Structure 1
């Protein structure tokens, strides 16, 4: 660097600071109107004061570092800073040439030019270094993003602007069983079941590209081995500044086991309902109640009579007596294979309960072995009227009904 400016020139520059600023401001505004710069006028103060310090023998590189920090805090880009530096340089040169003695004017102008050039070079160098560091940071971020995308424990894929798979992560490959070469470049709908693919094309995708996102869409993917993978897919659209689709990113949640469990639970509920209906049907079949008119009911029993069926029989018969205002109930046990203590107890209990409602019971169909069993068990049938056949029982029941029991 040349020697510092002569003291007289430096004093003159200091005294002309405001005039220099005004001159540089006019030049900068003119350049801005012509679209040549975007530097703010406030940056001129920083540059003028920094140049004055440099003319006193300061280090231009140190000045550049200081200027760069100040200009960055003001939001001045590199091209704007260089433009502002240029108008300040021209203002200084014009002043030292116009105000200095001819023998020193040239040297003073060269000093101004050298300081400005070194400041500009230092600014550019520092900006290049910053740019390089920014690029290294971005590369690191992108590398980290790619690593996260590949290794996150979630099924993820990316689709390009043409609607083709541009990236799938490791979990996607693991879940579906394909290699990347079998996947990249193909449409994601190629891996969906026909129903899911149609739903995607006709419903999901039109809304997705309109709103820029979709949430918890249920799809079925086809694995390489032919099995199905149920997923809940959520995705977002990435657009450029013009609003054009650049890519989309999707996260898929495997819900195969959950849906299988839900379907199993639904099937179990349906099966339970079927069983309940069948039980109800069997109950009605096992304890049929036939109104015969004229105050007579018939309950033909078929099969074994256990405790549960005895309770069912009693409930059905009592309800029928009340509903039909019956006076006589016929219990036909022709279809009961054997009459034991449980059957006898049930018959006696039914008789007593029906009697409390003001009706009576006619028992038909008792065979010799059944009668013998009842005698051996010492069961007293009490007020039960017994008839050998259902025909006889019907006749007796009608007679009781006409007589009002």
Structure 2
């Protein structure tokens, strides 16, 4: 049912003509602050009694809840100005309605305010959406505040140092980790500019770094980001030095104006120490490898790529190392043709640790050097071969010395067992020194070769120079005698001293039919006289 409007005949204008069809709530108050008109929209929304409303005040309807309405009506009458407000009113169905209301004063002929027209628009749905929006904004503001708080905690406890400065270098933020790395307090950081002479910094090579060359100072000076660089920082209070990896980012606004500089700091002290220790070891290795005369070389696990070869290669091979780096197997070209196939065949033994070979190298000038080449595998913790290292030694002089020693030894052996022709068919062998088993074999070999070569019938073994005659020496003499007889020669033993004869008797040795004489001279005379008379010396007992 449509509620009829409330209207008073005292209105100076035809209110129903203006507001009867309006969806907005329209109420008119007289100077007594009482209702004189309410349109159907007002009666329908608020459930007012159309007949009993005229002459009543808002307090008559709402009691103390009408205070805000009364205040607005009063202000409009007293000030003569429009009053704008949103009323929260409980409607006829008990639902709360939000009415966006304007109180407009209407003046009479005398210029005084005689009526106040209240026009209100139901903003309940809009207010609900606005309140929802407000709630959303409030909730998101709280979330953002909490997030900022958590982010601040995160930044302050981040294990990477963080320093933020404004466009002019003013300190805006520094976290706990950065303070620890720099050995400073937050107050000290705020009081020190990036180019302050108080900074004690070093460049990566250990040289002093001027303050204006620090990462942050460089970024501020050029307005550009600084790529990661390693700097050393002395911390006087702690008494140590830390190495930091520092980079600086530049944050700009939409107009490309610098807003702030953000520096990140990472402690790389241990890594820097390890790097320096490794560099020192590499330098020591380089000095060692480049100082020795042997050729030190290193390849990958497969032996296909040359990792390193020492400068001695150029001395031994007579060729440039650069050529070997370009062609891994270029060294084979210099190996003597007669040795090359053997070297190639042995190369698979390198990663097995069984590569040890001698070969000749032909230098560009035609000279030949003897080389001993050895290789060993280098394995990682899992036992896999990761490198093959080798050592090639120039053994030319060593081989020459060994050959000289061999020849000298051979000459000494010949001198130690000389076989001297005395006459036709007669040989003499003076023996000097110790007659051990090795020398006994040599005596026997020389004796037998001499008998055959000279067709000797008599051989004189003179033991005058033998210091000690024992069972071993006697056995050797008996063996020589027997072997000589098998070749048709008689052995004559000379130079037996009395003490030697006593030793032989004491040992119970039987020299059999061996002919003896006391001196070499007597032995030679006997042998020549017997040979001259043409007697058969084999028949002598």
TM range (shorter): 0.3 to 0.5
Whichever of the two has the greater Rg, that structure is 2
| Greater RCO, CA 8 A, separation 6+ | 1
Normalising to structure 1: TM-score of the pair? Answer: 0.43
Normalising to structure 2: TM-score of the pair? Answer: 0.34
More strand by share: 2
